[in-house]
Amino acid sequence: MAKLKHWFASGTPYIWLNAGAVSLSLIMVFGLVALIAVRGLTHFWPASAIAFDYLEEDGSLTPMMGELVDTETVITSVPAVDQPETAKETVIKRHLIKQGNRDHAGLDFRWVNEKGMENRHYPEEIMVIERREWGNFYGYLKSVNVGAVTHEGRDHWEIFQSAIDRSLDLIGRIRHIEKDLIGAINYKMEQLRLDERGLELRGVMDPEPFAKIQNARAALQEEYNGYTGELEALYKQLNKDSYIAMLADGREVTMPVAKVVRAYRPNEMSFLDKCGFYLIKFWEFLSDDPREANTEGGIFPAIFGTVLMVIIMAIFVTPFGVLAAVYLHEYAEQGLITRTIRIAVNNLAGVPSIVYGVFGLGFLVYFLGGNIDRLFFPENHPAPTFGTPGLMWASITLAILTVPVVIVATEEGLSRVPRDIREGSLALGATKAETLWRTVLPMTAPAMITGLILAVARAAGEVAPLMLVGVVKLAPSLPLDGNAPFLHLDRKFMHLGFHIYDVGFQSPNVEAARPLVYATAFFLVVIIIILNLTAIWIRNRLREKYRAAEQH
């Protein structure tokens, strides 16, 4: 005992316990990133489809088919058959099966006990279909009906694939007409309506501008009619093909090819096939629009919205942050006031982000935006233009949120510029402004970039204020498009962080959406880690550079 006491008195165990705290922190950091990576990245891998007969509790057999998603062991009380009153506790292993077919089976996920799974096998012909509605489909392909001809037998899979390709092509064309061409017409129509309303508000009596607007409107209408005819033909062609598939329980169902996004047979794919499939899926995730209430498809609009917002924010935050830092460090008289300001700026970095959101909503959106609408957009009244949350207000809110980061980083950079460099420049007759522009600021540039990167990283991950000032779960159109003035600062937009919150917590089908949320989270984490590592790297290089400068 005394020995043990002595051992503790030596302090070694305490040091090791402290070491344990570091180890635990490291385990948590890397464990978290690994967890997100594993869950997010495995989502795109084509899992094998399993078929089995499930022994229900009432003794009947249900044929089932699907992917094995999760496994857990639980303790349950199973009443013994002969003595129902004495429940016996047993450890059972159960699996979560994604059986898809929400339109036929009702539930697309189901927990099954491993004990009840009989006759497990992996038939090569199981096909998985990703659809535009009702989630995945699992079953066997029976026949394909293309152009009123029914194909059965050996080559029907190839015919099915080519039918899908055709329908995807058609859908691409339809979408181009609907979104780009007709969207542009609608936009112009709305502009005309606003012009007309503006004329009315200004009390213009001259009929000429009104007639011009009428003519333009008639031209647009004609163009629109042309497109609708074309669309009708395309839709007719699209809805022609269908296929018949067999469910696990032997039922046969007929479904339109037009609703198919992709069909594949995971059990007959080789490893290379799967790798190719993985890459295609991953690319789809990055480049495509979301489907089915954001639970399927890609996150492109969210990436786009995040990037655009961050760019606009950077345009606001960099000059103002640098200006404030230069003023504080170079021009303001150092004393109590600058010290107070410095403390205040430091503190603002610690003010909760939601407070900035409240400020953004109250001051920017309702006060500034409301007044802008009254002054510049009276023809839009009562529909708000800038008096509602949107891209511009979100960017400015985040710029205010991150301006302390830039100020602090830039000031640190300014204070690292050796004194003799500044004095040398002044001694050679340069004015203060010239010293600043030619020597001090260029030397501070890396520090500014560090600040900007940190600001961008913070902005990209911030969600709470954005929920108040402009983010939506599904934006009908991107804030940047082909209609003048191209950049629509008043539009609402999608954001990666909010996407995670929304899909993970507000989605109607959380189980189906979960892998996608992990994938989105992984993507966001990777971006932010890369940004931060870059900032750290620049900072370290900068320090070494100045250390060299100071030693001269």
Q: Rule CB under 8 A: which of 458-477 touch other proteins?
A: 458, 460-464, 467-468
140 interacts with other proteins by CB under 8 A:
no
81 exposure class (CB count in 10 Å sphere: 0-12, 13-18, 19+): exposed
Rounded to the nearest whole angstrom, what is the least distance from the CB of residue 356 to other proteins in the complex?
Answer: 7
Q: Taking a C-beta distance cutoff of 8 angstroms, is the pair 472, 394 a contact?
A: no
**x-marked contacts with other proteins along 404-423 as a string, rule CB under 8 A:** x--x----------------
Residue 497 interacting with other proteins (CB under 8 A): yes
DSSP single-letter state for residue 40: H
Among residues 38, 56, 72, 162, the one that binds other proteins under rule CB under 8 A: 72
The whole-angstrom separation of Cα 155 and Cα 153 is 6
105 binds other proteins (CB under 8 A): no
Q: How far is the CB of 537 from other proteins (least distance, A)?
A: 10
Q: Does 521 bind other proteins (CB under 8 A)?
A: yes
Applying the rule CB under 8 A, the residues between 225 and 254 that interact with other proteins are none
Distance between CA atoms of 261 and 507, rounded to whole angstroms? 21
Q: Which is nearer to other proteins, 247 or 400 (CB)?
A: 400
Q: Contact with other proteins (CB under 8 A): which of 14, 111, 122, 283?
A: 14
Residue 29 binds other proteins, judged by CB under 8 A: yes
Q: What is residue 251's DSSP assignment?
A: -
Using CB under 8 A, pick the residue from 41, 92, 194, 528 that binds other proteins. 528
How far apart, in whole angstroms, are the C-alpha atoms of residue 194 and residue 379?
A: 6
HEC string of 123-168 equals CCCCEEEEECCCCCEEEEEEEEEECCEEEECCCHHHHHHHHHHHHH
Nearer to other proteins, 181 or 510 (CB): 510
CA distance 351 to 475: 30
23 binds other proteins (CB under 8 A): yes
Of 184 and 354, nearer to other proteins (C-beta) is 354
Q: Which of 159, 467 has the CB closer to other proteins? A: 467
- Going residue by residue from 293 to 332, which x/- string records binding to other proteins, judged by CB under 8 A? ---------------------------xx-xxxxxx-xxx
By CB under 8 A, which span of 174-182, 242-250, 269-277, 517-525 interacts with other proteins?
517-525
CB of 16 to other proteins, least distance (A): 4
One residue of 78, 315, 383, 529 binding other proteins per CB under 8 A: 529
> Could you give the CA distance from residue 463 to residue 499 in angstroms, rounded to a whole number?
9
Distance in Å, CB of 216 to other proteins, minimum: 30
Indicate the residue among 341 and 480 with the shorter CB distance to other proteins.
341
Return d(Cα 485, Cα 145) in angstroms, integer: 47
The shares of helix, strand and coil residues in the chain, as percent rounded to the nearest 5, are 60, 15, 20
Q: Using the rule CB under 8 A, is 514 a contact of other proteins?
A: yes
Restricting to residues 36-65, name those near other proteins by CB under 8 A. Answer: 36
Burial environment of residue 297 by CB neighbours within 10 A (0 to 12, 13 to 18, 19 or more): middle
Count Cβ neighbours within 10 Å for each residue of 277-289 and write b for 16 or more, e otherwise: bbeebbebbeebb
If binding is defined by CB under 8 A, does position 109 make contact with other proteins? no
> Smallest gap, in angstroms, from Cβ of residue 405 to other proteins?
11
Identity of the residue, 39 or 132, whose beta carbon is nearer to other proteins in the bound complex: 39
Among the listed residues 245, 457, 516, 519, the single contact to other proteins using CB under 8 A: 457
Binding of residue 449 to other proteins (CB under 8 A): no
Query: If DSSP codes are grouped into helix, strand and coil, which group holds residue 254?
Result: strand
Residue 103: CB minimum distance to other proteins, A: 26
Distance CA(317)–CA(402), nearest Å, equals: 7
If the CB atoms of residues 181 and 525 are measured against other proteins, the closer one turns out to be: 525
Q: Are 299 and 496 in contact (CB under 8 A)?
A: yes
Is residue 141 near other proteins by the rule CB under 8 A? no
Between 123 and 442, whose beta carbon lies closer to other proteins?
442
Q: For residue 186, report the phi and psi dihedrals to the nearest 5 degrees.
A: -60, -40
Six-digit token string for 77: 């009380």
Contact pattern from residue 173 through residue 212 relative to other proteins, giving x for each residue in contact according to CB under 8 A and a dash for the rest: ----------------------------------------
Q: What single-letter amino acid sits at 309?
A: M
Q: Is 445 in the site for other proteins (CB under 8 A)?
A: no
Question: Could you tell me the smallest distance in angstroms from the CB atom of residue 162 to other proteins?
Answer: 40
Q: Is residue 21 near other proteins by the rule CB under 8 A?
A: yes
In angstroms and rounded to an integer, the radius of gyration of the C-alpha atoms of the chain is 31
> Is the Cβ of residue 309 or residue 457 nearer to other proteins in the bound state?
457
Q: How far is CA 446 from the centre of its chain?
A: 30
Judged by CB under 8 A, how many residues of this single chain contact other proteins? 103
Only one residue has tokens 């647009």, namely: 220
- Which residue in the block uniquely carries the two structure tokens 């099966």? 97
Residues 337-396 that bind other proteins (CB under 8 A): 341, 343-348, 350-359, 361-363, 366
Work out whether 17 is an interface residue with other proteins (CB under 8 A): yes
String of DSSP letters for 391-458: HHHHHHHHHHHHHHHHHHHHHHHHHHS-HHHHHHHHHTT--HHHHIIIIIHHHHHHHHHHHHHHHHHH
Q: Which is nearer to other proteins, 286 or 343 (CB)?
A: 343
